[in-house]
Amino acid sequence: MSKLSRLIEQVEMAQTLLSLQMEREQLRMKVEHLTNLLSVYQKVSLAETKSQVKNACSHISSTNDENLIHLRTNIL
């Protein structure tokens, strides 16, 4: 095997290793993202079981309604 062919083989191996490292990092980031989503889902579910919120949207709208009621009371 000539030096040139060994060098080409080493470069191809390095390229393969870099590609695998990039794929592994992308998978790690996806797992981290999904873990964060699961954590948020569990927190919302816990809040729902404690009757703190019905769901994320209704909690926001009910907070806005409370603020409007306070504004109306203060104006009157």
Give ∠ CA 13-14-15 in degrees, rounded to 5: 90
CA distance 16 to 23: 11
What is the domain partition of the chain in residue ranges?
A: 3-75
pLDDT, tens digit, for every residue of 22-75?
A: 999 999 999 999 999 999 988 888 877 877 665 555 544 455 555 555 555 555
pLDDT at 46: 82
Instruction: List the structure tokens of 12.
Output: 């191809």
Query: Is residue 2 scored above 70 in pLDDT?
Result: yes
pLDDT at 54: 59
pLDDT at 50: 77
Query: Is residue 1 scored above 80 in pLDDT?
Result: no
